[in-house]
Amino acid sequence: GENVEQHPSTLSVQEGDSAVIKCTYSDSASNYFPWYKQELGKRPQLIIDIRSNVGEKKDQRIAVTLNKTAKHFSLHITETQPEDSAVYFCAGSMGYNDMRFGAGTRLTVKP
């Protein structure tokens, strides 16, 4: 089955700086890669996703890039703000019942 690894486990940046979180996956058949944000005490919420037929996707200050050859994908947050502080999870899926999550990255944005 799919195995997703995520790095780093913790990340601290200064407000206004960029943050990058990286994930690798094991199964080349995976075709869907969502990113979730979980604020303290709240449920994980989908913030952006990318499919394997696309190399990059942007939504305002967040972007995701996918390198299918290397089997890795990354989340980029620009102009970070304190409200970006949360735990971020990446995931990979081949179909409809097989999504696997990374271990999470705790992002802290210091004012």
Partner 1 sequence: DVKVTQSSRYLVKRTGEKVFLECVQDMDHENMFWYRQDPGLGLRLIYFSYDVKMKEKGDIPEGYSVSREKKERFSLILESASTNQTSMYLCAAQGGQTQYFGPGTRLLVL
Q: Which residues bind partner 1 (CB under 8 A)?
A: 6, 9, 32, 34, 36, 42-46, 49, 89, 93, 95-97, 99-104
Nearer CB in complex with partner 1: 68/78: 68
Least separation in angstroms between residue 103's CB and partner 1 is: 4
**DSSP letter for each residue of 24-73:** EES-TT--EEEEEEE-TTS--EEEEEEETT-SEEEETTEEEEEETTTTEE
Q: What angle do CA 97, 100, 106 make, to 5 degrees?
A: 145
Q: How far is the CB of 14 from partner 1 (least distance, A)?
A: 25
CB of 41 to partner 1, least distance (A): 9
Question: Rounded distance, CA 21 to CA 26, Å?
Answer: 17
Nearer to partner 1, 50 or 77 (CB): 50
